[in-house]
Structure 1
């Protein structure tokens, strides 16, 4: 009977310890609070989570990120920097410049980037996207010449 009581006590303590750990979970592993001061602001650090393909301005396909591939974007008041990590590719991918967001359109003007990206920047320095922004997510939507949606990169806030 005494052993049964000790085992029950240990189980109870284990359950209480698990509940305590949930309360003290690190905020870096949790989504940013919906009511925080970052709500509906682009400033911060974002990670690419997937893509949407559009046809006739409607999502027709979606893709999640490969866990081995990462892309991060960081926005300050008026600067942007992004980088990609793709283990199977030895080329570096990053870009740096300024941006403007008017509530609907995001315009990024890149000053420089990795050697691969500098080739892209030589041909096109300014990138204009439709942007759908919420507290913890945004969709950066590429448009064709007629203003139709082609695809989007989808991001979640990490800080």
Structure 2
């Protein structure tokens, strides 16, 4: 039976973790969906790129991953010692990569606001070395949008 990440992983605890993400409601991550016959192979490179991007932002080492047709596997470790060495500017830049503003002006406002708030920098640093935060990031927003399936006509009649 699955368990919540928060009950398995304790923040700051070092170890190797094998994590899986599975698509739900018969959604297809990559490859050819046997129901719709649509090819989603183009998603695989985007998912792999997102895994690498998140690995570069968070203090999490990625030791391996496999993107399968309807799920993925990732082997991770928390690199807390690396995060402790980051300057406050580096913490803020990593945080802004994860949560960018819409305009350059808003981005600069967020940067200045975070740099002027030591408590916020501590919270950001802690979240950037939290495995639950990293695993909770959407891997591919485009694929989430693509796989939304319309309700079958008979289901609409039941409303």
Q: Do they superpose with TM above 0.5?
A: no
Q: TM-score scaled to structure 2, two decimals?
A: 0.25
| Structure number having the greater helix percentage | 2
| Structure number having the greater strand percentage | 1
